[in-house]
Structure 1
Amino acid sequence: MKKEHSLLLDFLRFFAAILVLIHHSEQILHIPHWSFLASFGHDAVIFFFILSGFVISYVAKNKESDLRKYAIARISRITSVSIPSLILVIFLLLIGNLIWTPYYTASSVDSFEWLAIFIQSLFYLNYSSIGVGGIPTNGPYWSLSYEVFYYVIFGIAYYIRVQWIKYLLLLIVSLVAGLKILVLMPIWILGCYFYEKHSVIQQRPVFGSMLLIVIMSIYLLIRALNVDDQIVKLSSIYFFGSESLANETLSYGKRFLADYILAVVFVMILISLFMISDLYKYRIRRFERVIKLLASYSFSIYLYHYPILIFLSHMKLNSYIAMITTLLISMLIGYFTERKKDVFKKVISKSLNFTQLPEK
């Protein structure tokens, strides 16, 4: 992969995490001036799925040559942030219940429910066919349930050579995943497909610039008019009879048809940006260290911000101060977790009795 393409994706990954932060800040802290930017929050998650498929295809082809390396890299990457996020949720829940007992919304969840939620969250089963629901104070955790299953399905399909074992495992994992998770997998697969084909994209500055303008105009029009919400409403009624039934059946996957359209739009935007990379490659390379540094916190920002926002919302701080504080705290925790995933890799490698692997 060209360096400028890698840096572009890193920058977009960080930018998408910030959009999710803004989306939830508008919801929790009630910042009306940012309501338009907040509407991009869900779109950012769809972009994450595309980017995830792209990256997994890249590392499988170039860095993680067998299932052992793949499994350790994926487990260390996810657990370095997911486990601390669960600890953070419980810590803030306990403190919040002590200070704001009448107001802290999570206090309505009893201990038994929390135990069930915590156990299923450790294994990313929240929205699977055997899941019992999401984490009340960390909504973004839902996407991990989806993404981890995509990792597992990809790993089985790509690395296992014995056909009957492969298909049996794929069947079992798919049944456990369930429709809620599988319905969005085509978006993730589109990211894999984009990686397979991205190397044939040629530099076409004029055509690429025109394509970018057209596709971005279409996307902004979709967002300004909330066309995707109308698609969700119509598709829910068509396929399930009502929006409530669609939500009950598919949960976050209820937007699948609109999300498929958005995914195609995002890939077209990426194609156009790759077509014109000669126009910005020298500029973006100047900021390589900054971009890589910011991108290294993107997962932490995404997974830590929500419980922190809820906690700070009870402190009656200025909304912008609360949002900036949330960002800084998320990055501080990320410094000791996401940026230290090498430690998680060593622990996982030793616990599974594997030879220590080099960092990818």
Structure 2
Amino acid sequence: MPNQTFSLYLDVVRFLAAVLVLLYHSNWRELITDQVPLGGYGHSAVIIFFVLSGFVIAYVSDVKEADAKSYAVNRLSRIYSVAIPVLLMTPLLDVWGESISPVFYEDKTTHDLWYVRIFSSLLFLNEVWFVSIMSFSNVPYWSLCYEVWYYVIYAAYIFMRGWKRWVAIVSIALLLGPKILLLFPLWLVGVAIYKWQITYNLSVFKACVLWLMSFFAFYGFHEYGVQYALADLLKAWGGDYLYEQLTFSKYFLSDYLLVPIIAINFIAFRRLSGLCPNMPQAVSRCIRYVSGFTFILYLSHQPLLQFYGAVINGNPDSSRFYLTVIGLVIITVFALGFLTERRKRTWKRFFDLLLSWKGRTRSLNT
């Protein structure tokens, strides 16, 4: 079980990863002429999310959610409390913003077959097989269409038994196709970190060295362009068609090199956190509060960036324009957080009643 310090560390990493994704998507010339510092770390930040997600799901299913119903209620309320409001908000912002300043939406959104986009997004089917359905301007939504199915596969594994378990897992795999499954082992690394208790036996010195080295390795990974070099290699080997069909999984070669760096960072800090297992209450409360807006920041920032960019339509040579847009995005994210993530209990009660009603209906019919 992670101690408080390690748990807070993961919250900090999770929030900073969302900030990196925000910087990545804000790094376009309509908003700012210069390159944004740390603006090239977006995809790597998503891989951090995958590893974190695997760790957290392994923990909660082991300690807090011992049955399938509680697992389902918590996952559904967590996801839909944010996904549904953002999904409904995005096309409205897109249409409004595009009518004000179309340049901010060129090749960055689409409105055709809107009902298909909403339906597939609600069921997280946007990236199955070689389909790639854009959720309007909300590009980051793709990762949710991977992660949700990792929850489902893991639930089938831990809550089902015998031949039914494997029939369910194979059926889900056949529904999803290779793109989503290609990154599933990265998510499972998070599960392995939680399960692999032997890492607590690291010496403090080794843990400190490994933790510091992981930051240098993470920096070097991006400084030397490993992600794009291996993507180009994949394109040369497999051809343009395969490269394009893989869409967000086309960086899988470098992702498999990046994940050990992330894993080492988490493993090493888990050992170091044992030196100070508890943090001051004020620090803990502050970190928990801010990190509570991570999901809404991640899932809403892209349409908000484009909308505020279009509304203000300032000079990209001026940092004032860029900082104003970023400031408005952050303010809006925090406001949305109180209407979404901070209302998880309401969604939780809804899904609890829904699944309880389904369970009673099933028992009456048998």
2:297 match: 301
* Residues 130, 245 of structure 2: 8 Å contact kept: no
Deviation for aligned residue 1:14: 0.8
Structure 2 Cα separation of the partners of residues 108 and 56 of structure 1: 32
Structure 2 counterpart of 1:31, one-letter code: I
The residue that corresponds to 2:120 in the other structure is 120
Q: Are 1:23 and 1:39, in contact at CA under 8 Å, matched by a contact in 2?
A: yes
Counterpart among 323, 327, 339 of residue 324 in structure 1: 327
> Any stretches of 5+ residues in structure 1 without a counterpart?
356-360
Q: Decide whether aligned partners of structure 1 residues 147 and 108 sit closer, same or farther in structure 2, where only a CA change above 3 A counts.
A: closer
Aligned residue for 1:121, secondary structure, equals helix
Higher mean alpha-carbon deviation, 283-292 vs 251-260, is at 283-292
TM-score, structure 1 as length reference: 0.90
Paired position in structure 1 for 2:234: 235
Instruction: Judge conservation of contact 1:11–1:291 (CA < 8 Å) in 2.
Output: yes
Aligned partners of 1:203 and 1:278 also within 8 Å: no
Distance apart, 1:71 and its partner CA: 0.8
1:352 partner SS = helix
For residues 174 and 157 of structure 1, what CA distance do their matches in structure 2 show?
13
Q: Could you say what secondary structure the match of 2:65 adopts? A: coil
8 Å Cα contact 1:28/1:309 also seen in 2: no
Deviates more, 1:46-55 or 1:14-23: 14-23
Indicate the residue corresponding to 1:334 in structure 2: 337
Letter in 2 for 1:176: L
Cα displacement string for residues 229-284 of structure 1 (whole angstroms, at most 9, x for unaligned residues): 1122113323x1x3x32332311111111001101110111122222225565557
**Structure 1 residue 353: Cα displacement:** 2.7
Worse overlay, 194-203 or 163-172: 194-203
**Contact 1:21 1:305 survives alignment (8 Å):** yes
How far did 1:98 drift? 4.0
Give, in whole Å, the separation in 2 of the partners of 1:38 and 1:4: 28
Equivalent residue of 2:251, what SS?
helix
Where in structure 2 are the equivalents of 1:46-61 lying within 5 Å? Answer: 46-61=47-62
Tell me which moved more, 2-11 or 88-97: 88-97
3-state SS, counterpart of residue 287 of structure 1: helix
SS at match of 2:136: coil
Deviation at residue 32 of structure 1 after TM alignment: 5.2
Cα RMSD, aligned residues only? 2.3
SS state of the match for residue 119, structure 1?
helix
For 2:354, the aligned partner's letter is S
- Does structure 2 retain, via aligned residues, the 8 Å contact 1:28–1:313? no
Query: In the TM superposition, what whole-angstrom CA distance separates every residue of 1:126-150 from its partner, at most 9, and x where no partner exists?
Result: 0012845122300000001100110
**Which residue is equivalent to 1:189?**
188
Percent sequence identity is: 31
> Secondary structure at 2:137's aligned position in 1?
coil
Q: Which moved more, 1:95-104 or 1:290-299?
A: 95-104
CA–CA distance in structure 2, aligned partners of residues 107 and 50 of structure 1: 28
Aligned to 2:317: none
1:102 to partner: Cα distance: 7.5
- Ranges in structure 2 where 5+ consecutive residues have no aligned partner: 315-320, 359-366
C-alpha distance in 2 between matches for 1:276 and 1:196: 18
- CA gap of 1:37–1:93, structure 2 versus 1, over 3 A, is same
Task: Describe the SS at the equivalent of 1:88.
Answer: helix
Per-residue Cα deviation, 1:101-140 (whole angstroms, up to 9, x for no partner)? 68644797454x1111111011000001284512230000
Which one-letter code corresponds to 2:262 in the other structure? Answer: F
Scaled by the length of structure 2, the TM-score of the pair is 0.89
Bigger Cα displacement from structure 2, 65-74 vs 201-210:
201-210
Q: Provide the C-alpha distance between the structure 1 equivalents of 2:287 and 2:37, rounded to a whole number of angstroms.
A: 25
When residues 312 and 344 of structure 1 are mapped into structure 2, their CA distance, relative to the original with a 3 A threshold, is same
CA distance in 2 between partners of 1:13 and 1:31 (Å) = 26
